[in-house]
């Protein structure tokens, strides 16, 4: 939004801004904020930053937790959810004394990835188009204790516990895709979200009711540069939740909140450009893909089990990655096949549009880690010239679930649990260390924390197993 501090300061004065909200992302992908008076928006804030305790969010140890935030002026937007006029910035995290970038700042990992891509000479930029799927619920309750474990969600679009004032326009199970009002009761709410996103500088391509039955929605942006896409992901999650909350509803990006319905994915469309030319395009290539694009696909599928440690980093992620719901469970690519880990969109035929879509990810990921992990895998495929066809990754454009089991078992599988993904990352992460993008300590820290999450869930009795085995 702003190029210089003087430009931002003039806006603060002209718009009578009273508060400055400083937002920043922890390692796990959750936003935090500090709010200061507009009187504190000064050159010293831009040079010295404002301090915070990094030990509170596992960035540092308690005995050396001091860190500082410096606003990124280009990310400024008016935050419409505060009572007083508030200008919001996404911040960079720096060391408190030297003001050097903090290596584990997720945005800094994106910068290192961009620098590494440029250094390879393959391309000078990558562009990304996340698809944001979410559920909007009217009622949400959950409880976990020594003697109880339960959750309850409801939407007035459903026939489970319909609105007492209902007039008969429910969304049928498995039947939500592109539903029209009055069945789609949430269209105006999604429009409000989209308009506020545009006000915040996030372009919106479209929104619609999604396939996962009652309450399911999607908002999609055009293709964006890597950092822009990662920042937009955080803003989109923030604004959709806030709009729903103010309407007395709740948005969740949880991958699998409903048993037996399609879940929430966050598919990533991606391609790369060199001097504004799409290096993934070749008019004579299969599905218009260049050899560079095919090598990229080969790298991403080769490293997919390890990549899922960052793109699918929750135990709930693997309740979505099951057969039967357009969620990929095998490593292959195909043209237009929504059960493939990588899909080549048939409708993207213009030279600057040809791309691939990686379908396993979901929005429990930290976008500042997930996108670099995917990009680093693809770059490794290009450098090593990994041909996806020779490696047995397709293309397959048939229904592989109709194949005999012996034939289908030849296709490489994706992890089926968070623990499996972490083991894959432990065994295969050298490609992430190239260019100093990720480091061994950070990966080891991530693996350890996520395995603890897996084991915590593994140790808890599940309501369904109590129902199944209680009378034994």
Residue-averaged pLDDT of the chain: 93
Structural contact between residues 91 and 24, judged by C-beta atoms closer than 8 angstroms: yes
pLDDT surpassing 80 at residue 164 = no
Helix 304-311, helix 440-458: angle, nearest 10:
70
Entry pTM = 0.95
Closest to 411 (Cα-Cα) out of 396, 426, 428: 396
Query: Residue ranges of the alpha helices (H) in 54-202?
Result: 106-120, 187-199
Q: Which domains does the chain possess?
A: 5-102 (3.10.20.70), 113-469 (3.30.590.10)
Sign for the pseudo-dihedral over CA of 71, 75, 76, 81: negative
| Residue-wise pLDDT tens digits, 71-101 | 999 999 999 999 999 999 999 999 989 999 9
pLDDT top residue among 310 and 403: 310
Give the pLDDT score at 336.
Answer: 62
Residue that the structure tokens 């709010």 belong to:
35
The DSSP element (H or E) to which 150 belongs, if any, is strand 148-154
What is the per-residue pLDDT for 325?
Answer: 64
Report, as residue numbers or ranges, the catalytic residues. Answer: 53, 131, 133, 210, 218, 267, 338, 357, 359
| Residue 306: predicted pLDDT | 98
């Amino acid at each position: 939004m702003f190029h210089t501090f003087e430009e931002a300061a003039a806006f603060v004065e002209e718009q009578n801004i009273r508060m400055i909200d400083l937002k920043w992302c922890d390692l796990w992908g959750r936003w935090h904020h500090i709010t200061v008076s507009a009187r504190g928006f000064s050159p010293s804030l831009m040079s010295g930053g404002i301090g915070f305790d990094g030990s509170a969010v596992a960035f540092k140890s308690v005995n050396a937790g001091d860190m500082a935030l410096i606003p990124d002026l280009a990310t400024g937007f008016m935050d419409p959810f505060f009572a007083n006029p508030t200008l919001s910035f996404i911040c960079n995290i720096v060391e408190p004394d030297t003001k050097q970038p903090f290596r584990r700042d997720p945005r800094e990992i994106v910068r290192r990835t961009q620098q590494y891509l440029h250094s390879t000479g393959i391309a000078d930029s990558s562009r990304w188009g996340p698809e944001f799927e979410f559920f909007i619920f009217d009622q949400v309750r959950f409880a976990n204790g020594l003697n109880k474990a339960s959750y309850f969600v409801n939407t007035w679009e459903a026939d489970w516990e319909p609105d007492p004032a209902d007039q008969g326009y429910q969304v049928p199970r498995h039947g939500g895709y592109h539903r029209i009002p009055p069945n789609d009761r949430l269209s105006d709410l999604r429009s409000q979200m989209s308009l506020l996103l545009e006000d915040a500088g996030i372009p919106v391509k479209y929104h619609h009711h999604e396939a996962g039955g009652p309450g399911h929605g999607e908002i999609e942006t055009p293709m964006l540069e890597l950092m822009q896409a990662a920042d937009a992901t955080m803003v989109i999650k923030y604004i959709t939740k806030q709009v729903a909350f103010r309407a007395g509803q709740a948005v969740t990006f949880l991958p699998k909140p409903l048993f037996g319905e399609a879940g929430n994915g966050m598919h990533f469309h991606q391609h790369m450009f060199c001097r504004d030319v799409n290096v993934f395009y070749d008019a004579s290539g299969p599905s218009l893909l260049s050899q560079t694009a095919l090598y990229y696909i080969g790298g991403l599928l080769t490293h997919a089990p390890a990549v899922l440690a960052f793109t699918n980093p929750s135990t709930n992620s693997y309740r979505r990655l099951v057969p039967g719901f357009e969620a990929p469970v095998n490593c292959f690519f195909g043209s237009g096949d929504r059960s493939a880990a990588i899909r080549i969109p048939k409708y993207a035929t213009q030279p600057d549009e040809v791309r691939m879509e990686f379908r396993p990810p979901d929005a429990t990921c930290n976008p500042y880690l997930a996108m670099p992990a995917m990009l680093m895998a693809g770059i490794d495929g290009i450098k090593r010239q990994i041909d996806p066809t020779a490696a047995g990754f397709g293309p397959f454009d048939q229904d592989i679930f109709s194949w005999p089991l012996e034939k289908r078992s030849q296709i490489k599988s994706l992890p089926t649990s968070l623990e499996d993904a972490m083991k894959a990352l432990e065994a295969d992460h050298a490609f992430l260390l190239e260019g100093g993008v990720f480091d061994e300590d950070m990966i080891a820290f991530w693996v350890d924390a996520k395995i603890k999450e897996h084991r915590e869930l593994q140790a808890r009795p599940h309501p369904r197993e109590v129902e199944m085995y209680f009378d034994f």
